[in-house]
């Protein structure tokens, strides 16, 4: 493993101080020159480290003033139900809906071929730089076209709408894994999210796949238990 860049090392030391309570939420960090002297780093290295921590939502920077500690984001508690879904997915902060070509894995789950047209409904959970989950529902274009509700940018209960149009869930398959974040996932969840939990769930009506749902969770921000109270596999 390569050695971390100087600003990453400094960011790690300051981050540890915040997480351990040496720099409480609401307090101000020592000035840049003081931190540089304490950590054996150049002023510009400390400033770069602080920008990293600001991007993570741990500190707030001010021009010509000490950075204020925002503190670590709280852990989100979720329950994995017997139907393979995550209950209490709150804090939705953004929804985008678009027609696109299905990635290979999604197309296979939907019984199609790579590049098949799907409608993707993507929802972020968590505010600003503190996003903790990305939830995506892929619908075959023919399924999405049964009602404008599924292609509009308005929040809807997709599975309730499918049921109302005689495409309700009669079965599902799901997988639950822990893995490194992809480049896109890291961009959406924050560059400091190297590991995620990923839930993939394919919904069928009869023998026909009607939706493929993926939920990616920051492993350091979310704790998942089953409905029986045990830790979910991979969590």
Specify the pairing of strand 222-226 against strand 76-80: parallel
Tens-place pLDDT, residues 119-136: 999 999 985 557 889 999
Domains of the chain and CATH, by start: 6-69 (1.10.10.10), 76-226 (3.40.1410.10)
pLDDT range class, residue 230, cuts 50, 70, 90: low
pLDDT at 108: 97
Question: Rounded to two decimals, what is the model's pTM?
Answer: 0.73
> Could you give the 3-state DSSP secondary structure of residue 32?
helix
Q: What is the pLDDT of residue 32?
A: 94
Range with the poorest average pLDDT among 24-38, 53-67, 96-110: 53-67
pLDDT at 150: 97
Alpha helix segments (H runs only) across the chain: 6-19, 32-39, 43-55, 104-109, 141-144, 158-164, 183-189
Q: Say how many CA atoms lie within 13 Å of 25 toward its Cβ.
A: 8
Q: What pLDDT score was predicted for residue 93?
A: 80
């Amino acid at each position: 493993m390569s050695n971390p860049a100087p600003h990453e090392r400094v960011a790690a030391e300051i981050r540890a101080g915040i997480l351990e309570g040496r720099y409480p939420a609401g307090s101000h960090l020592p000035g840049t020159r003081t931190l540089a002297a304490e950590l054996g780093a150049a002023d510009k290295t400390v400033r770069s480290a602080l920008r990293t921590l600001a991007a993570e939502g741990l500190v707030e920077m001010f021009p010509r003033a000490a950075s204020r500690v925002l503190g670590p984001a709280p852990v989100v508690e979720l329950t994995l139900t017997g139907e393979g879904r995550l209950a209490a997915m709150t804090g939705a902060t953004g929804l985008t809906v678009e027609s696109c070509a299905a990635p290979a894995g999604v197309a296979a789950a939907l019984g199609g071929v790579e590049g098949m047209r799907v409608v993707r409904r993507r929802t972020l959970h968590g505010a600003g730089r503190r996003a903790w989950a990305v939830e995506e529902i892929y619908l075959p274009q023919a399924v999405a076209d049964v009602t404008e509700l599924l292609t509009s940018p308005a929040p809807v209960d997709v599975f309730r709408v499918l049921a109302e149009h005689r495409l309700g869930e009669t079965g599902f398959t799901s997988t639950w894994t822990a893995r490194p974040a992809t480049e896109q996932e890291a961009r959406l969840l924050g560059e400091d999210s190297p590991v995620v939990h990923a839930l993939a769930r394919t919904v069928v009506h009869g023998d026909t796949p009607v939706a493929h749902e993926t939920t990616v969770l920051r492993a350091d921000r979310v704790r998942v238990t089953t409905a029986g109270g045990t830790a979910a596999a991979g969590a």
